[in-house]
Amino acid sequence: MLTDELDYDLPKELIAQQPAKNRSVSRLLVLHRRTGRLTDTRFVNIDQFLNPGDCLVLNDTKVLPARFFARRATGGKLEGLFLRQDKGIWLVMLKGLAKVKPGERIWLKSTNGGDFCLAQVLEKKADGKCLLKVDAVGSAEKILKKIGFPPLPPYIKRDTDLQQAAKDKIRYQTVYARCPGAVAAPTAGLHFTKKLIEKLKQRGILFAYVTLAVGEGTFKPVTAETLEEHHIHEEQFSIDEKNANIINRARQASGRIIPVGTTSVRVLETVAAHGKLKATTNSTDLFIKPGYKFNVVDAMVTNFHLPRSTLLALVAAFAGLNTILAAYAHAVNQRYRFYSYGDAMLII
């Protein structure tokens, strides 16, 4: 499939720079995929399209304050994104890395702008990545609390404003996040409030949780001419026995399995490829694109995705490319807000 087929026109002003004032008052576009019918509503009304016994599957990963700033001894400014650590060594993406030499020591800046600690660049890797040895005591999570800002995607413009960062720290996180490790939010879940979750439970909607640590590749556009040439990023995931059983029982009772977000979709489809869902901890590089046959997903909640992205390919695989592009055209015409802080879509 040609990557160009995943392109669409989006006015820049529709790329949401701030979240809705209240999570669940975001707009919701309901797409009936078999007919193409569209319904415009609000996320708080999602229960009107769900049935008792349906099971929502949420990704409970927690976003780290992974964006940080640094300086060279020469005074040159650097901006980094923590990705993960192994035996105390950080793997990061570093803007301005081309000028930095292996072995060089840089200062990591605290959130208030002062020098926090030194770090040594051990090795430069491809794609702007490098290994850092950080001269500070504590886990990466603990250190990032001192130096880190919410890792918003580059199309959301942010500086080092601490008041704005404090707001983003709350809103770029789901209300049910509990497992630290993600460097991007599972954004379809940002629309849920605790009140809405309780309302849905009272309606007989089931909830199950998986964990997928969303990585930096989630926003990476497909640059290859065809989807088949693109290699998707690999991410760690887990589902425990309790939640696997909730999903299996819902399926046996003819409830619909409705993952919230493409990350939850990838976890379920990875595990379900081997039959009945069971407790699993592993990694996945599953690339769902048009032509894929879904094993367990009956509907999904998702945001509006970037052109030429693996995420758009996934929803196109589920609803049909032409149907999705028609729905996106409708959303543009109706001035929906797009991307991470934008509005939502329910595909049923």
Helices 262-272 + 310-319 axis angle, to 10: 70
Residue 88: predicted pLDDT:
87
| DSSP conformation letters of 119-154 | EEEEEE-STTEEEEEE-SSS-HHHHHHHH-B----T
Phi/psi of residue 24, nearest 5 degrees: -85, 0
Per-residue pLDDT tens over the stretch 260-306? 999 999 999 999 987 789 999 999 999 999 999 999 999 999 999 99
User: Which CATH architecture best describes the domain 67-148?
Assistant: Beta Barrel (2.40)
Beta carbons within 8 Å of 235's beta carbon, 6+ residues apart: 212, 213, 214, 215, 217, 263, 266, 283, 284, 285
Confidence (pLDDT) at 215 = 86
Question: Terminal CA-to-CA distance of the chain, rounded, Å?
Answer: 24
pLDDT-derived band at 127 (thresholds 50, 70, 90) equals confident
What share of the chain has pLDDT > 90, as a percent?
Answer: 89
Instruction: Fill in the amino acid letter for 282.
Output: N
> Distance of CA 11 to CAs 14, 15, 154, 321, 338, Å?
6, 8, 16, 21, 10
- CA–CA–CA angle 164, 170, 173 (5° rounding): 125
Please tell me the distance from the alpha carbon of residue 317 to that of residue 310, in angstroms, as a whole number. 10
Do 3-63+172-347 and 67-148 share a fold? no
CA atoms within 13 A on the CB side of 138: 10
**83-86-87 Cα angle (round to 5):** 145
pLDDT in tens, 70-107: 999 998 999 999 999 988 899 999 998 989 999 999 99
Return the domain boundaries, the chain. 3-63+172-347, 67-148
Euclidean distance between CA atoms 216 and 346, whole angstroms: 25
Using CA atoms, how far apart are residues 248 and 175, in angstroms rounded to an integer?
A: 25
Q: What pTM was estimated for this model as a whole?
A: 0.94
- pLDDT, position 219: 67
Domain spanning 3-63+172-347: CATH superfamily:
QueA-like (3.40.1780.10)
Residue type, 49: F
